[in-house]
């Protein structure tokens, strides 16, 4: 009887945990414009990469919320854009780089690969057997596998330029230039659906890594992503864009605030919930619910981020260099942005 009660209680806690989780990742990744096209050579030699912030790939989707063994895997990425490409620089530490399946259209998700999820118009929805969104599984041989409209694997390697280089022991740098297509994409004539990128464009986006270390079943041991995923949907991004993060393209080359960052006030958050004292360089944040504060530099680099728990919080910004910064305050269903000047 005691064992049954304990089991029932454990199940109840699991159910409560599932329903208490947020429905999706609310983080917005701002990607800055590059005036100079990136040379795809598997290095970070292009000067455009120098001042771009790294974003972590640290959410373990499979097994859900597992802890990665030191040295097994770690990853991070940077992003830039111009009118022709979305550029990615992905830094990976993987103790066992492996590709077991010689046929790129066989079990492509079970080999080591970088997986890039893109929803061109942020429309969300089902895409497993359509091009409403893309889930590129990019192998160490630069194959880029997704599902076609016939629900079979298709190699879309011509949709991107990729180069990966070994830069240290078990350490790899991947560089991508990805062409963006809308939902009318046709592999036989892709240019008809190609999208020219522009400032303020919003896309659904996530980056992940399939980690295969050579087990007897020849299956990936871990699946690690750049965004939070609810447990009930931890492996759903390949078929639906509903849970992807949001990417916004910005251009801060003229040091002016991107229009996409100017958002209307709403009932939950107001502009006066953010107050900056320029003389003391202290930011006061007032929040009536659990929130998150993110601060970006003029070039789009994330310089500060922290959680706020239903309170007034003062943040000292003495360590920031003079300039204009953009402050975002997120709550569960809304967010606001304000600019501050440090001098």
pLDDT(72) > 50 = yes
- 205, 273: one domain: no
Q: Torsions phi, psi of 272, nearest 5? A: -75, 5
Tell which of 220, 250, 280 closes a domain: 250
203 within 8 A of 181, measured Cβ to Cβ? no
- The alpha carbons of the chain give a radius of gyration, in whole angstroms, of 21
- 225, 312: one domain: no
Q: For residue 108, give Cα distances in angstroms to 102, 132, 141, 227, 241.
A: 9, 21, 12, 22, 20
Tell which of 250, 277, 299 closes a domain: 250
pLDDT(205) > 90 = yes
Q: What pLDDT score was predicted for residue 28? A: 84
Number of compact structural domains in the chain: 2
Q: What pLDDT score was predicted for residue 251? A: 87
210 within 8 A of 220, measured Cβ to Cβ? yes
In sequence order, the 6+-apart residues with CB closer than 8 A to the CB of 189 are: none
What percent of the chain has a predicted confidence (pLDDT) above 70?
85
- 298, 174: one domain: no
- 182, 264: one domain: no
Q: Any idea what the CATH number is for the domain that residue 89 is in? A: 2.60.40.1190
- 316, 193: one domain: no
Q: Torsions phi, psi of 110, nearest 5? A: -95, -5
Tell which of 193, 217, 250 closes a domain: 250
114 within 8 A of 173, measured Cβ to Cβ? no
pLDDT band at 299 (very low <50, low <70, confident <90, very high): low
Nearest to 61, CA basis, from 301, 275, 238, 280:
238
Q: What is the mean pLDDT of residues 140-149?
A: 97
């Amino acid at each position: 009887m005691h064992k049954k009660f304990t089991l029932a209680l454990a199940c109840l806690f699991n159910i409560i945990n599932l329903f208490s989780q947020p429905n999706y990742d609310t983080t917005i990744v701002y990607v800055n414009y590059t005036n100079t096209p990136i040379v795809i050579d598997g290095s970070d030699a292009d000067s455009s990469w120098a001042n771009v912030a790294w974003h972590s790939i640290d959410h373990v989707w499979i097994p859900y919320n597992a802890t990665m063994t030191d040295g097994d895997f770690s990853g991070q990425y940077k992003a830039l854009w111009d009118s022709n490409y979305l550029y990615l620089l992905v830094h990976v530490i993987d103790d066992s780089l492996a590709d077991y399946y010689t046929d790129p259209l066989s079990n492509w998700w079970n080999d080591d690969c970088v997986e890039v999820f893109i929803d061109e118009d942020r429309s969300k929805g089902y895409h497993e057997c359509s091009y409403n969104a893309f889930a590129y599984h990019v192998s160490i041989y630069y194959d880029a596998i997704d599902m076609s409209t016939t629900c079979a694997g298709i190699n879309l390697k011509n949709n991107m330029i990729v180069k990966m280089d070994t830069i240290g022991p078990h350490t790899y740098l991947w560089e991508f230039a990805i062409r963006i297509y809308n939902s009318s994409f046709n592999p036989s004539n892709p240019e008809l659906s190609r999208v020219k990128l522009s400032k303020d464009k919003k896309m659904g986006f996530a980056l992940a890594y399939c980690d295969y270390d050579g087990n007897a079943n020849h299956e990936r041991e871990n699946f690690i992503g750049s965004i939070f995923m609810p447990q009930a949907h931890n492996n759903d991004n390949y078929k639906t864009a509903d849970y992807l993060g949001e990417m916004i393209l910005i251009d801060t080359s003229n040091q002016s605030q991107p229009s996409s960052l100017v958002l209307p006030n709403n009932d939950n958050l107001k502009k006066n919930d953010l107050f900056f004292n320029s003389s003391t360089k202290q930011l006061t944040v007032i929040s009536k619910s659990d929130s998150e504060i993110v601060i970006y530099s003029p070039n789009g680099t994330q310089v500060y981020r922290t959680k706020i728990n239903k309170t007034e919080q003062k943040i000292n910004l003495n360590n920031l260099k003079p300039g204009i910064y953009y402050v975002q305050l997120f709550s569960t269903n809304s967010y606001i942005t304000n600019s501050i000047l440090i001098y």
